[in-house]
Amino acid sequence: MLFRRRYKSCVVGFGPLLCGVFLACANSAWSQDTDEPEIGSIEIPEVRMPLCFGFSDITDVRALEVCSALNLDENVKARELSEQWLREQPDNPAAQFALAEVLFTVEGNMARALYHLNRAEELTGYTSLTEAIAADNVIWHYLTLSQLSYVHQLMGNQLKSLEYLDKLHDIYGQEIESFRGWPLIKLKQYEAARASANLVLQTSDNARERSRAWNTLCAVELASLQPIESLSACDRAIDEDENLADSSNDYDTVYLSNASEVSLSLLQIDKAEEYLDRATRYLNPDSVADPWIYKLYLTMNQSRFDEAREALDRMLIWRETQDPVVSVMNRAEHFLVSASFLLLAGYAEDAIKLTATALNQPDRNGSYSADDAQKDSFAALLNMMANETEYQVQLEMLSTLSLAQRLQARPHLWRLQLDAWRAERRAASLYASSEVLLSRLRPYSPLDVHVPEWIEPEIIRIMGTGVMSQMLTQADAAGAFTLNHGYYNAYGTEIAALEHQDEVVLGLGERALTELPSQESLLRGRVSARMAQSAWELEDYSTALALFRQAYALDPSITRRLGLSLPVTLVGDDTALASEVMDLLARSPRFHTDPNGLLLEVTSTQDLSICLKSRSAETLTCYTMAPDSSQGSAEIARQLVLQFHTDTFGLGFDISKAQRSMLLGSSVILSAQTNGNQQNNRDAVLNR
């Protein structure tokens, strides 16, 4: 799971450093005495200009024009004004900063914003407050240093972020200790982060600073493999006078998402979902936490596929409302959770595109506890699975074609295998660290990128059973499975299955199914499939068939994803069409004929249908198709078999090409302006 630092822009383009300083000043300036004054004592307040980049005393006309456009959501105008200013005055640090802010806040283009911030620093380069004041550029130098620290943090260069924090302290006397904790967390310097947070708590009375310190301490405590014993630091992370039960916190999606992830790390799965449900009640465009992402993960884990499909739709609505700078922070999360769902739903080809996009785009994850390597390792792992699953889909299709057609399609199959192998090797290289693997084995590791528990057993295959057996033993000794030993046995089941130790698979698998939380439906489905395969090899047919049925009920796609073949007895009527269908089914890689297998019945009396049933004629799944009289029997049989495979080994959702294309998202160069009517409609949808 990912742990987050709050991203909140108190004014347009503001990094977090300035929010507490200038908002506090603004709030105190506008505060009024609550006692009713006499008429004669009322002072006419001074007319104050709107804040421009956080300051009320900026007088530069060009800067005020840009700020005015930004405040009115006239983003194209703001871009044009700032670019024109820079063309006319390329050596003006204010012009460089203004364009950087437009690029950062309106377009989310951090790389180009960083370029102009670097130019602004080059044009100032002051080493003391006296020097900055003498040059009459103190505001622009201060803003530049602050935003450089923040952009470097988001882009993953934490050492540079700390360096600019030190400059702010040395030149301007800015109190920066509460901002040091998060970069230190990202650098995995946990003891230094703890010391920094404790120093803030000992010396500061500022609520914002203390809140950041508690957030840092919470992350430090979660870094251990062993579950934390006390939630006090995490509970106090939002603020010292607020609490988890307070409904007024429902607007803070980062806070609630972090609380959900802490609960998941303690395997309090229902409680975790309660926090997510609270977080989904209000749209929060400037929040790096999209709670629908994790709602989708949880519903998938639990085989609640209808709810998962709804969560996918809501997630897209949330994503459309995000500020551009936020959308580039969590775009990989959107891609990877969408790919996971499409993989289950039978759209492996689209999952390949999404995972490749997530793998090839840089991630701006400075507000997340995970790093690029963790994101890339999951993206590569999921890309491998998607390519392998699409390979199985293509095998199913080819089994309905002639020999010549199958030979012609072979190059495409080889390409899928090659791409899967490349992704596997890339994932293996990224996981090639004992520290990474140990952290990955802990259920719902709170500081890592979220890898669903039903996907994590794939790591065993790419890293090797010997390596993973050692890692599993070490993780167990370190307390990773203290809360539930079922995860340990699930990993053991996978290792034994890959080593073809069928008796061990059945023993460990039975313990895993007994101990795992009931919510881990997809993981339980994988364990059941491995046990079914082993039971069949041991010729315990009744046990194997019961386990095959259980695995299918929990996860219809597991047979295809693992490349398994179900034992079936083909049964059909005496028609020629039924005979053609049965011949195609017998060639399918998903089935092999056996007198002890499940029943696979074909009927063609009225509509055409294929039904997969237990030996006692209990229906697992059926697909029915009305024949097209204009087609020949061979084409009708082929279409029926292909549609049966699609329906049987997917989730049965018809996701249009347009909807699947939407999952890839829009360009990161977006307008932050949102139509009010659309926003009201979205609010109505989300609060149904």
| All domains in the chain, ordered by first residue | 1-28+47-174 (1.25.40.10), 336-561 (1.25.40), 566-648 (3.30.160.710)
Question: Cβ-count burial of 45 within 10 angstroms (0-12 exposed, 13-18 middle, 19+ buried)?
Answer: exposed
- Tell me the C-alpha distance between 407 and 233, whole Å: 62
Q: Which of 291, 492, 456 is nearest to 378 (CA)?
A: 456
* pLDDT score, position 672: 34
Query: Would the pTM of this model clear 0.85, i.e. be above it?
Result: no
CA-based angle 43:49:52, to the nearest 5?
145
- Tell me the C-alpha distance between 365 and 110, whole Å: 12
Question: Cβ-count burial of 350 within 10 angstroms (0-12 exposed, 13-18 middle, 19+ buried)?
Answer: buried
Question: With b meaning 16 or more CB within 10 Å and e meaning fewer, what string describes 31-44?
Answer: eeeeeeeeeeeeee
Per-residue pLDDT averaged across 100-115, rounded?
91
- Tell me the C-alpha distance between 84 and 65, whole Å: 12
Question: With b meaning 16 or more CB within 10 Å and e meaning fewer, what string describes 617-645?
Answer: eeebbebeeebeeeeeeeebbbbbbbebb
User: Where residue 216 falls among pLDDT bands split at 50, 70, 90?
Assistant: confident
Strand partners, 570: 600
Contacts 24+ apart (CB under 8 A), 600-607: 600/568, 600/569, 600/570, 600/571, 601/571, 601/572, 602/570, 602/571, 602/572, 602/573, 602/578, 603/572, 603/573, 603/578, 604/572, 604/573, 604/575, 604/577, 604/578, 605/573, 605/575
User: Which DSSP helix (H) or strand (E) runs through 489?
Assistant: helix 486-498
Given a cut of 60, whether residue 26 has pLDDT beyond it is no
Q: What is the pLDDT of residues 277-297, one digit of tens each?
A: 998 988 888 787 889 999 999
Task: Read off the tokens for 535.
Answer: 């039971």
- Tell me the C-alpha distance between 198 and 392, whole Å: 54
* pLDDT score, position 671: 34
Strand order across the 598-603 sheet:
591-593, 566-572, 598-603, 608-613, 619-625
User: Where residue 3 falls among pLDDT bands split at 50, 70, 90?
Assistant: low
Given a cut of 50, whether residue 184 has pLDDT beyond it is yes
Given a cut of 90, whether residue 563 has pLDDT beyond it is yes
Q: Per mean pLDDT, which range of 25-29, 232-236, 518-522, 590-594 is the poorest? A: 25-29
- Tell me the C-alpha distance between 127 and 137, whole Å: 13
Given a cut of 90, whether residue 570 has pLDDT beyond it is yes
Question: Quick one: the chain helix, strand, coil %, rounded to 5?
Answer: 65, 5, 30
Given a cut of 70, whether residue 597 has pLDDT beyond it is yes
Q: Per mean pLDDT, which range of 218-222, 310-314, 672-676 is the poorest? A: 672-676
* pLDDT score, position 665: 64
* pLDDT score, position 45: 52
| DSSP-derived 3-state class of residue 687 | coil
* pLDDT score, position 135: 85
Q: Is the dihedral of CA 438, 1, 165, 236 positive or negative?
A: negative
Question: With b meaning 16 or more CB within 10 Å and e meaning fewer, what string describes 254-275?
Answer: bbbbbbbbbbbbbbbbeebbeb
Per-residue pLDDT averaged across 602-622, rounded?
91
Task: Read off the tokens for 134.
Answer: 């003498």
- Tell me the C-alpha distance between 92 and 141, whole Å: 11
Given a cut of 80, whether residue 681 has pLDDT beyond it is no
Q: Which of 621, 626, 681, 669 is nearest to 645 (CA)?
A: 621
Given a cut of 60, whether residue 673 has pLDDT beyond it is no
Count the neighbouring beta carbons within 10 Å of the beta carbon of residue 616: 7
Q: Which of 623, 532, 547 is nearest to 585 (CA)?
A: 623
Can you tell me which residue has the tokens 């622009």?
140
* pLDDT score, position 409: 87
Q: What is the pLDDT of residues 392-414, one digit of tens each?
A: 999 999 999 988 888 888 999 99
Chain-centroid distance of CA 388 in Å reads: 22
Amino acid at position 298, single letter: L
* pLDDT score, position 340: 96
* pLDDT score, position 2: 62
Most confident listed range (129-138, 314-323, 577-586)? 577-586
* pLDDT score, position 29: 35
Residue 325 makes CB contacts below 8 A (sequence gap 6+) with 9, 104, 105, 108, 110
Residue 582 makes CB contacts below 8 A (sequence gap 6+) with 570, 572, 602
- Tell me the C-alpha distance between 163 and 158, whole Å: 9
Q: Give whole-number Cα distances, 34 to 43, 118, 478, in Å.
A: 15, 46, 57
* pLDDT score, position 411: 92
User: Where residue 366 falls among pLDDT bands split at 50, 70, 90?
Assistant: low
Per-residue pLDDT averaged across 435-443, rounded?
88
Count the neighbouring beta carbons within 10 Å of the beta carbon of residue 111: 11
In whole numbers, what is the pLDDT of the chain averaged over residues?
A: 84
Per-residue pLDDT averaged across 646-655, rounded?
90
Task: Read off the tokens for 230.
Answer: 């006390």
- Cite the DSSP H helix spans in 538-672: 541-554, 558-561, 576-587, 633-648, 657-662
Given a cut of 50, whether residue 678 has pLDDT beyond it is no
| DSSP-derived 3-state class of residue 665 | coil
Q: Which of 273, 241, 280, 242 is nearest to 259 (CA)?
A: 273
Q: Per mean pLDDT, which range of 249-263, 289-303, 496-510, 579-593 is the poorest? A: 249-263
Q: Which of 412, 383, 381 is nearest to 395 (CA)?
A: 412
Sheet strands (E) in 498-578 = 566-572
* pLDDT score, position 636: 92
